[in-house]
Amino acid sequence: MTELATYTYADWKAPAADNQLVVWPAAAEILRQTHWNHQHLNSCQQVRFQGLPLGELRRRARAWIGHNHFQPLLATGHQTELYHPGVWVKNALIHMAAAAIGGHALHLAVDTDEPKHLHLRWPGVAEPITDDQSLVSGRWAGLLSAPTPQHLNHLMVLLSNSAKSWPFESSLAQMLESMRRQCSDSPDLSTLLVNATHEFDWGLGLRNYTLMASPLWGSDVFLIYAHHLLAHADDLAQHYNHALRDYRLEHDIHSPGRPMPDLVSTDDGLEVPFWIDDLARGERQRPQLQYLEGFWTLTLTNGERFAFNPNRSADEAGQSLGQFLRQARLRLSPRALTLTLFMRLLVVDNFVHGIGGGRYDQVLDRLIASFFNMAPPHFAVATATLYFPTAGERQRVNLPALKQEGHRLRHNITGQPKHDLVKAIASAERGSSHRRQLYTIMHRQLAEHQQDPGLMDWQHRWQQAVQRDNEERVLFDRELFYALQPRDRLESLINRCADKFAQ
């Protein structure tokens, strides 16, 4: 196993203050690591997928997406949803990094994950971005229909009414207008969101390419990759679970589901880190493989089987798996680690994560080092915080401090007699009638002082603070859709990314 002794990670935290940016590692190190990854991965011969060297499979993958194999490629990715400025800023970072290194930038739009974060929210409003009734039941985002023009008109009216009292011009009207213009030509919500956000970001000067994930999972390159992993399903599961175990031990995590569950082996089969998507029914399941006649085998409900033979050539493996899936109208979609593993090893030269993805990839680094016996390619992390623009004018109420003040008031309101009673209770025999009497006396004395002016003043301030906290919860929510921001605040973050690489 390749050691990870030289790999160090930061304790990333989302910024608590408005208009703050986190980038790891430093910009110059991101560029250096991108060069190193590029050379390390492209020249790799000892790691093979169904007999095909990693470097050759990378060349095919980059040709499939239309990228010059010899140019650096930086990427990020996210589910097709209404993501917040902390996610969006990764697009700004890869644009600046690619420009600094003479490469290209790619955003992977993952339309094969469970739909979430698809409600537009601002103070007083929370509305779904689409009127598709399967919004809460769709198994993956690509199943959702684009909103009707009538629904987009409804959202624009709500925005117009709310924006009359805002001291800034939100970019959301431009985004909604773009969606309304394109909705009739977009087959689904994911395509519409990707096209509208790409158009908007292009207008901000970000020259990133966007790649939808679902067609990629049908490519020969991905099918070769998936076939190889599943042909070694037991070995993969062992290294996968060991990587999770080591991460949990290092970070003193006791929950078996964090950062993700182990792969489960039962009498019925071995779980693998992919989804089987039934494209005809819009359903999905976690596949289990059985070891039959010397091969890990996928058995469908109709009894048809596919055996993952590790001795197949790469081309035969990809073509045979693809034909089997197409005939059954199925798709093999990667889960978190296998998705990022594919991108980091086979497609890009540096992948920029958010904080959650960065933690997942600490697990993935362990998996790459042990399963492939190779030094993992480096990755980067970026996030930012932009609150609702009017939040910067307010000092957020500190409920914990005010609650503690009330606690002190209530328990010190009777002065020394209360402290004497506490001591007497502590020294009284547990369960005794005397101890119960002392408790009764103490609480009676506290009740008698409930009308104390100081306590009543605190209760009034507490009620006001709770009401204000409820009102401000949306204002200080860092996960509001990034297009709610005015253009100048987004441009400010872009410029701050540019400054890091200019240094």
pLDDT at 424 over 70: yes
Per residue in 323-351, pLDDT tens? 999 999 999 999 999 999 999 999 999 99
Span 80-108, average pLDDT? 98
| Contact criterion met (CB below 8 Å) for 291 and 297 | yes
Question: Edge to edge, what strands does the sheet with 350-353 contain?
Answer: 20-24, 380-385, 350-353, 73-79, 104-110, 209-212
Higher pLDDT, 469 or 307: 307
Residue 499 backbone zone (phi > 0: left; psi -120 to 50: alpha; other: beta): alpha
**Are 435 and 428 within 8 A, CB to CB?**
yes
Segment 81-110 shows an average pLDDT of 98
pLDDT greater than 90 at residue 153: yes
pLDDT digits (tens, 9 = 90+) for 361-394: 999 999 999 999 999 999 999 999 999 999 976 6
With a pLDDT cut of 70, the percent of the chain lying above it is 93
Q: For tokens 């992919």, what's the residue?
A: 274
How sure is the predictor about 295, in pLDDT bands with cuts at 50, 70 and 90? very high
State the average pLDDT over residues 388-404: 80
Query: What residue has token string 């399903």?
Result: 233
Round to whole Å and give the CA distance between 194 and 183: 12
Q: What is the pLDDT of residue 448?
A: 60
- Whether residue 164 is predicted with pLDDT greater than 90 in this model: the reply is yes
Which pLDDT score, from 0 to 100, does residue 486 have? 98
486 CB neighbour count, 10 Å cutoff: 16
The rounded percent of the chain whose pLDDT value lies above 90 is: 80
The band of 449, judged by pLDDT with boundaries at 50, 70 and 90, is low
pLDDT at 503: 74
Answer with the residue of higher pLDDT: 293 or 447.
293
Task: Give the mean pLDDT of the chain.
Answer: 92
What is the phi-psi region of residue 282: left when phi exceeds 0, alpha when psi lies from -120 to 50, beta otherwise?
Answer: left
Q: Where are the domains of the chain?
A: 399-472
Asked if 367 and 448 count as a contact pair (C-beta separation under 8 A), the reply is no
137 C-beta neighbours (distance < 10 Å), count: 11
> What is residue 312's predicted lDDT score, i.e. its pLDDT?
98
Q: What is the pLDDT of residues 26-46, one digit of tens each?
A: 999 999 999 999 999 999 999
Residue 216 has pLDDT above 60, yes or no: yes
What pLDDT, on a 0 to 100 scale, did the predictor assign at position 235? 98
Higher pLDDT, 405 or 219: 219
